[in-house]
Amino acid sequence: MNNGIPTHVAIIMDGNGRWATRQGKKRTEGHYAGYKRLKKTALYILDKGVKYLSVFAFSTENFARSKEEVGYLMDLFVKAFHKETSFFVDHNIKVLFSGRREPLSDEVLKIMDKVVSDTKDCTGGVFNVCLNYGAQAEIVDTTKKIAELYKAGRIELDDINTDSYYHYLYNDLPPVDLMIRTSGEIRISNFMLYSISYAELYFTSTCFPDFDEKEFDKALEDYQKRNITKGTVK
């Protein structure tokens, strides 16, 4: 944290479907509205001085949704990342992805790899998209990665500790300072379990397509009022 601005913010972008159905629209229209909102709100958050923004775009569990909805979302990822690659470059934003590659299609993987490669030298903030992401899977995958490195003689057991563990996660990012969930659900849903150990949690009933600049400012104000001690005396 620096000047009251959290270094790493993570958002569970929930409520797209309900936002749409409440207005008599299709759930997929909610996902499109969520994408448009994300573009504006993410830029605002990074402009405020937040260095790392992680967003939950699609969970491993979300593959259990209808074929139509999953298909729409995969299509939207491909179109949106194609369209926004220059937006990220113009705003100097480095894009990363967290999650398993299997069973994403080659088309989705190709655009993910392109946007990562095109933005790799950007220095104005990191936008970490959690896509086909599950935190338990991340911990399992990280454990396997560490075991392989150990087996190959590239690390010692003493190299592994609670701080160095971050280095082996899908991306080497600092711990989350502020975790936001929209739409009124008060649970974690398998999101960034290792990294949110000491995060301040903020829940709002606002659905993600309505989570605008003012809504983020409310979360930030709430965060700044808290007495953050991380295990030391108050």
Active site residues: 14, 62
How far apart (Å, rounded) are the C-alpha atoms in residues 181 and 66? 23
Q: How far is the CB of 222 from Mg ion (least distance, A)?
A: 22
Q: Which is nearer to ligand IPE, 59 or 119 (CB)?
A: 59
> Alpha-carbon torsion 55, 12, 71, 64, what sign?
positive
> Does 14 interact with Mg ion (rule: CB under 5 A)?
yes
The residue from 5, 18, 25, 203 that contacts ligand IPE (CB under 6 A) is 18
**Six token digits for residue 154:** 């590239």
33 binds, among ligand IPE, Mg ion, none (CB under 5 to 8 A by kind): none
Q: How far is the CB of 39 from ligand IPE (least distance, A)?
A: 15
Q: Which does 210 bind (CB under 5 to 8 A by kind): Mg ion, ligand IPE, none?
A: none
- Which does residue 182 bind out of ligand IPE, Mg ion, none, counting CB within 5 to 8 angstroms by kind? none
Applying CB under 6 A, does 171 fall inside the site for ligand IPE? no
- Least Å distance between CB 13 and ligand IPE? 5
57 is a contact residue toward ligand IPE (CB under 6 A) = yes
Q: Nearest approach, Cβ of 14 to Mg ion (angstroms)? A: 4
